[in-house]
Structure 1
């Protein structure tokens, strides 16, 4: 019996109960099962049709007569992915779309061709001659990917095929493609919340004693576990999960290298993850922190400096969220947020971006890790409301118990709530460190009674 107790106690040193974190009102996050593939396709196609229906009003908003997109298989315009059917893997042959602001009575507002002959140009010219749009927008922006997806060769082909009469009407309207991609129709939010909850649930399981064995598990072990977990749930991801131990040295390395150092996780470590899931044409983006308790420790034993570091970065999240005023540019929001941050004695960096349709999606950028004064071009776009944003940033905080200044990084997704007229957390935000709990080896009270 003594040998059995010894073995059990040794095991209990690495097994505990998962400890969730987040705002007090949030229940423990649960994994959300995706519907069957056919139902997923029906959901996505319905959302796509809603978004397509918005295009004529956007053409009016920006004073554009027609919008032309054309691409070949594997050389798709960026906007193609926001307008395709759910079951499409790529464009076919030459796929050409034309959207009209003011179609003549009895004619449709949109046309599409899938062809590998010159018939597409003959029919396109016929439609243009009938409709006579004053301007034709093409996605040719030199720096914004979402507004610059028309390939150079396809532009040459369009210009030659349509002739100078129509080529003279070609214009660039940056915000047209940006706003089409950025617009998240209302029906998407329910599933986006479920996906965010799933991301939280995976992180909380990964950052628990069920997965982490202090002194044995490495950062890469946890990364690979997260990858396997994503696949087992039939989700995918748009970037590889990262896990690293927060020290004064590792964080700067992570900013330049997407792969964190493969260190062994030890008692007393502050650990960080950057993690997201993808499904239903949507992508999440989350960064959370965890702390590895020494055997027998409880929440009360977490170094106060680390608790305060998380509180400080929570405050920085609030500052940025409150300064995200619809219509302001990302650079204006960045400046206002930095000024308020510094006035409150907080040092750190802000690098927020649109998310949802893409991980780094269409919309203005609020800072970058290497651009804290302003972000050229992307930072000059206006903030749109019907989209999702990742509030991504870090705050520096001196941890007396470590005699180190650590960077406390957080990232949470928000959406614009038309009822409250403000940005709200999609699922919540981390306000308590995730705890990896290990009992004392001599704590026989935790031995299962059946033994």
Structure 2
């Protein structure tokens, strides 16, 4: 029986490998042909060397490969029958058809023989456009090294004139999610939500003793112990009455030291991202440490979260297929301004990579639009980290401004936007001790 990635998270490593290899087969059959047609590319060359891999290469390797081996070259040819996937590599590459072996050309230098096979496949395919991974806008689509590019051009001879950037194809491949991958991301987001809830519980967070730095390291250790790894070090920040926000790079950010002891009355914010099944999550959650005698957070803090949820609604309403990331940003910010909301939007794709390829919807320090990555268009069957922040005065804190930052995984499908395991609509309440 095939492993069910939604059954439990995380799955044992062997079951994860089975799931990932099955997903790759399905993606090659069901996703790649349409993407190649959309990009107008007949042959896609993905080339990398061990210890200097193209970032895309890892998404094609079998799950038991933790890196490329020697020089690994994949040739993906779009034909009337689908996509023929061949590997010109010293070792077999999973489900890719082995197209070359150095034993085929005894006495000939291995490198020369390997590049000659790429030339032979291209000549046989007679492609109009050959996609290679070079891009100015997306680092993840710019993985062909200078040396590999030079050797490829030399090997292809007159066919080198048909080389074109595969940027749209790379981004499409990296950002498009299978329905089953989206279901698995519900489970992964549930896991990180559970870990954060545990971190904010009295078993872990002891006001007056636990520091923000302690909590960040506890989260990282907990993820490791559960068999998933963070793709960035978790962060925990504090806001408290009497310590106003400070301006940095044109925006207001918390000023409580990162290693401060957490006290009753603090607003606690964390940022956590994990890796499993070859996918990533990116999540932020807010908690409030009750003061003695309190049973709920101050109304001003609750209102700030409510306004943050409204900003999420305005952003997801603007997120529609066909718009560019910059257009989504402009629509969301205009709607927020009309509603009297002071906030910023800096959302991004998330999938194989945490800060994934696809349309950038603002940066925290670039609210006028992001050149290049922000000009890419939104497509269905994609996943984003809906990341933003609003600023609100808190009457109970003497009118001091609070920055309510939120981040939540969402999926955009033909049915619209769905939150992955739900979103935060209420502050997590932490006992005073």
Q: Same fold (TM over 0.5)?
A: yes
Correspondence 1:66 to 2:60:
no
Q: Deviations over 1:205-227 (max 9, x none)?
A: 11122211111110011111111
CA contact (8 A) 1:56 1:99 kept: no
| 1:32, distance to aligned residue in structure 2 (A) | 4.7
| 1:330, distance to aligned residue in structure 2 (A) | 0.4
| 1:44, distance to aligned residue in structure 2 (A) | 0.6
Q: Distance in 2 between matches of 1:125 and 1:372?
A: 46
Question: Residue 270 and residue 250 in structure 1: after superposition, are their counterparts in 2 closer, same or farther (change >3 A)?
Answer: farther
Give the total of aligned pairs.
401
Q: Distance in 1 between matches of 2:168 and 2:303?
A: 41
Determine the structure 1 residue equivalent to 2:402. 406
**Pairing of 1:149-298 with structure 2 (within 5 A):** 149-163=143-157, 165-247=158-240, 248-249=244-245, 252=248, 261-298=258-295
| 1:405, distance to aligned residue in structure 2 (A) | 0.7
CA contact (8 A) 1:32 1:197 kept: no
CA contact (8 A) 2:238 2:269 kept: yes
Correspondence 1:102 to 2:79:
yes
TM-score normalised by L of structure 1? 0.85
**Pairing of 1:341-420 with structure 2 (within 5 A):** 341-403=336-398, 404-418=400-414
CA contact (8 A) 2:245 2:401 kept: no
Aligned-residue Cα RMSD (Å) equals 2.1
**Pairing of 1:86-101 with structure 2 (within 5 A):** 86-101=63-78
Question: Residue 146 and residue 325 in structure 1: after superposition, are their counterparts in 2 closer, same or farther (change >3 A)?
Answer: same
| 1:417, distance to aligned residue in structure 2 (A) | 3.7
| 1:273, distance to aligned residue in structure 2 (A) | 0.5
Given candidates 60, 64, 77, the residue that maps to 2:54 is 77
| 1:249, distance to aligned residue in structure 2 (A) | 3.0
| 1:69, distance to aligned residue in structure 2 (A) | 1.5
Greater C-alpha radius of gyration: 1
Q: Deviations over 1:94-134 (max 9, x none)?
A: 1111111226x8x9712111135322122222222222111
CA contact (8 A) 2:252 2:403 kept: no
| 1:255, distance to aligned residue in structure 2 (A) | 8.7
Determine the structure 2 residue equivalent to 1:18. none
Question: Residue 266 and residue 252 in structure 1: after superposition, are their counterparts in 2 closer, same or farther (change >3 A)?
Answer: farther
Given candidates 4, 12, 18, the residue that maps to 1:36 is 12
Q: Distance in 2 between matches of 1:383 and 1:114?
A: 35
Q: Give the number of the structure whose residues are more often strand, by fraction.
A: 2
Determine the structure 2 residue equivalent to 1:49. 25
Determine the structure 1 residue equivalent to 2:3. none
Given candidates 406, 415, 428, the residue that maps to 1:434 is 428
Segment drifting more, 231-240 vs 123-132: 123-132
| 1:57, distance to aligned residue in structure 2 (A) | 2.5
Q: Distance in 1 between matches of 2:42 and 2:418?
A: 36
| 1:251, distance to aligned residue in structure 2 (A) | 8.4
| 1:179, distance to aligned residue in structure 2 (A) | 0.2
Q: Distance in 2 between matches of 1:78 and 1:62?
A: 19
Q: Distance in 2 between matches of 1:352 and 1:95?
A: 34
Given candidates 121, 125, 133, the residue that maps to 1:127 is 121
CA contact (8 A) 1:330 1:382 kept: yes
| 1:438, distance to aligned residue in structure 2 (A) | 3.7
Q: Distance in 2 between matches of 1:71 and 1:431?
A: 45
Q: Distance in 1 between matches of 2:19 and 2:257?
A: 36
Question: Residue 289 and residue 364 in structure 1: after superposition, are their counterparts in 2 closer, same or farther (change >3 A)?
Answer: same
CA contact (8 A) 1:288 1:430 kept: yes
Q: With CA pairs under 8 Å and 6+ residues apart, which has the higher RCO, 1 or 2? A: 1
TM-score normalised by L of structure 2? 0.88
* SS of aligned partner of 1:187: helix
Segment drifting more, 246-255 vs 327-336: 246-255
Q: Deviations over 1:194-244 (max 9, x none)?
A: 110110111111112221111111001111111111111011110111111
| 1:327, distance to aligned residue in structure 2 (A) | 1.0
Q: Distance in 2 between matches of 1:310 and 1:374?
A: 25
Q: Distance in 1 between matches of 2:315 and 2:53?
A: 35
Question: Residue 55 and residue 38 in structure 1: after superposition, are their counterparts in 2 closer, same or farther (change >3 A)?
Answer: same
